[in-house]
Amino acid sequence: MRAKAVVVMAAGKGTRMRSRQTKVLHSVAGRPLIHYPVAQALALGAERVVLVLGHQREAVEASVRAAFPDAPIEVAVQAEQLGTAHAVLCARDALSDFAGDVFILSGDVPTLRDETLQALDERAGDAPVAVLGMRLAEPAAYGRFVRQEGALAAIVEARDCSPSQLAIDEVNAGIYRVDAGFLFETLAAVGSDNAQGEFYLTDLVAAAAAQGVAVRDLVLEGDAALELHGVNDRQDLAAAEARIQARLRAHWLAAGVTMQSPDSVTLGHRVQLAPDVVLEPDVSLLGDTAIGEGAWIERGVRIQDSQVGAGSRILGHSYLESAQVGAGCQVGPFARLREGTVLCEGVKVGNFVETKKTELGKGAKASHLSYLGDALVGPGANIGAGTITCNYDGVNKHRTVIGAGAFIGSDTQLVAPVTVGDGAYVGAGSTITEPVPADGLALSRVRQRVIEGWAARQRARMSKKKEG
């Protein structure tokens, strides 16, 4: 087997995105465009990956290194974008001691499938040059495949085409496999005498044909060709998102997940779903999220970077972020679990409850209208409606610790730092500022006073005043 290296061309700004952010940092399925060719390269078994970067190169490199910490990635800088041939030449030094096949990918074709690259490799066989193409009803601005006796003889950019060449419907997808020696030798001789005054990588094909070097190609047709469509503007970005989402959904449907309205479900590419998960309409599962077997996610729920245990039910319109929900829990509707929330098995968190850096022990309940921040709630504890942990004194955050089986009456404020012992009770409407001992009762509200007939007398006084 010949060695494989990959060069990813990703130096361009992507002007048509009309964005402050360079094109390849825009995301599809929660993953920056530039991560896709890197993953494709690794799936191909590339022993080296050279990223040709220009615009916002520090940010692009940082994003790739964070996502692929151990991958054999090098960066070649193309400070000025003088064309695709120039881009690949920028990778020459990084590959000076490399012999084998160089696959050239673009930073903006996220939908390319690993199988297609594999097929290009097979089609190429022992030929020094192979190109991936597509047949399009509207070949638009793509480079045209010009053939002689069936073999690819040249790729002509749309702007350089004669009227008869413009009518050719086989176009260049911009993905290649080229022998390393041939590549760098030939590219060094490519000129820029064309409509755009750029150094065209595509000139490689005519150069090969002129030298009698074999050129092969693989052309995808019909819907299959859609995976080769690049992202140049926001319309393309939306189309790529739709295609990747469709693939992710198909994958999880095949793995035993029910989706009541698949088209309305949004999935991040790292999401993991167990069999018998049910997703109602308008659910978004993002980032490093994992949903356990048989869990049911109701309509309008958004879950990011969180784990949901087997058999749990997340009721409608709840938001979870960096939360861990154990097995058999019930959350929502309209609950908000923020970062550092841990719900042990069988916990119930009801409507309009917000939690942050808070653990609720097994079977604990906070069923209505509460804020629990920086708190540890023991197993079986019951947090009454309207309970608030006052965790912030304006400067620092403080912890609230509530013991196992404790009962916190409705509308209680727990002014942290504060502790409530195991099995203790707090009377409704209390403001707790001192420790409550285990099995004790704390009441802090003012004793009720009743004045008989006061209201009737008051009304009489008011009406007399009006008459007078």
Residues identified as active-site: 368
Q: What does 344 interact with, of Ca ion, ligand UD1, none (CB < 5 to 8 A by kind)? A: none
> In the bound complex, what is the minimum distance in angstroms from residue 151's beta carbon to ligand UD1?
18
Supply 259's token pair.
């989706």
- The residue among 83 and 230 lying less far from Ca ion, judged by its C-beta, is 230
For 14-26, b/e burial (b = at least 16 CB within 10 A) is beebeeeebbbbb
Residue pair 154/206 in contact by the 8 Å Cβ criterion: yes
Q: What does 363 interact with, of Ca ion, ligand UD1, none (CB < 5 to 8 A by kind)? A: none
Q: Return the number of other C-beta atoms located less than 10 Å from residue 455's C-beta.
A: 9
> In the bound complex, what is the minimum distance in angstroms from residue 202's beta carbon to Ca ion?
12
> In the bound complex, what is the minimum distance in angstroms from residue 140's beta carbon to ligand UD1?
9
> In the bound complex, what is the minimum distance in angstroms from residue 176's beta carbon to ligand UD1?
9
d(CA 322, CA 337): 8
Q: Does 405 bind Ca ion (CB under 5 A)?
A: no
Supply 405's token pair.
């089986």
- The residue among 36 and 200 lying less far from ligand UD1, judged by its C-beta, is 200
Q: What does 10 interact with, of ligand UD1, Ca ion, none (CB < 5 to 8 A by kind)? A: ligand UD1
- The residue among 187 and 273 lying less far from ligand UD1, judged by its C-beta, is 187
Q: What does 375 interact with, of Ca ion, ligand UD1, none (CB < 5 to 8 A by kind)? A: none
Q: Is 122 exposed, middle or buried (0-12, 13-18, 19+ CB in 10 A)?
A: exposed
> In the bound complex, what is the minimum distance in angstroms from residue 105's beta carbon to ligand UD1?
9
Q: What does 377 interact with, of ligand UD1, Ca ion, none (CB < 5 to 8 A by kind)? A: none
Q: Is 145 exposed, middle or buried (0-12, 13-18, 19+ CB in 10 A)?
A: buried
Q: Compute CA distances 81 → 11, 52, 96, 237, 353, whole Å.
A: 7, 10, 21, 22, 53
- The residue among 230 and 300 lying less far from Ca ion, judged by its C-beta, is 230
Q: What does 183 interact with, of Ca ion, ligand UD1, none (CB < 5 to 8 A by kind)? A: none
For the residues of 156-220, what is the DSSP string, one character each? E-GGG--HHHHT--EEEEEEEEEEHHHHHHHHTT----STT----TTHHHHHHHHTT--EEEEEE
In 3D space, the residue among 309, 304, 367, 312 whose CA is nearest the CA of residue 337 turns out to be: 304
For 252-268, b/e burial (b = at least 16 CB within 10 A) is beeeebebeebeebbbb
Q: Which of residues 219-278 bind Ca ion (CB under 5 A)?
A: 230
Q: Return the number of other C-beta atoms located less than 10 Å from residue 425's C-beta.
A: 17
d(CA 408, CA 30): 41
Q: Compute CA distances 239 → 158, 269, 425, whole Å.
A: 23, 16, 57
> Contact residues for ligand UD1 (CB under 6 A)?
9-12, 52, 78, 81-84, 86-87, 106-108, 142-143, 155, 157, 171-174, 200-202, 230
- The residue among 230 and 373 lying less far from Ca ion, judged by its C-beta, is 230
d(CA 267, CA 279): 11
- The residue among 230 and 350 lying less far from Ca ion, judged by its C-beta, is 230
> In the bound complex, what is the minimum distance in angstroms from residue 117's beta carbon to Ca ion?
18
- The residue among 171 and 416 lying less far from ligand UD1, judged by its C-beta, is 171
Q: What does 120 interact with, of ligand UD1, Ca ion, none (CB < 5 to 8 A by kind)? A: none
> In the bound complex, what is the minimum distance in angstroms from residue 410's beta carbon to ligand UD1?
59
CA dihedral 84, 121, 219, 205 (to 10 degrees): 40
Angle between helices 35-44 and 57-67 (to 10 degrees): 50
Residue 227: DSSP 8-state = G
Supply 129's token pair.
């040059």
Q: Which of residues 98-127 bind Ca ion (CB under 5 A)?
A: none
> In the bound complex, what is the minimum distance in angstroms from residue 3's beta carbon to Ca ion?
28
Residue pair 371/415 in contact by the 8 Å Cβ criterion: no
Residues that bind Ca ion in the complex, under the rule CB under 5 A:
230
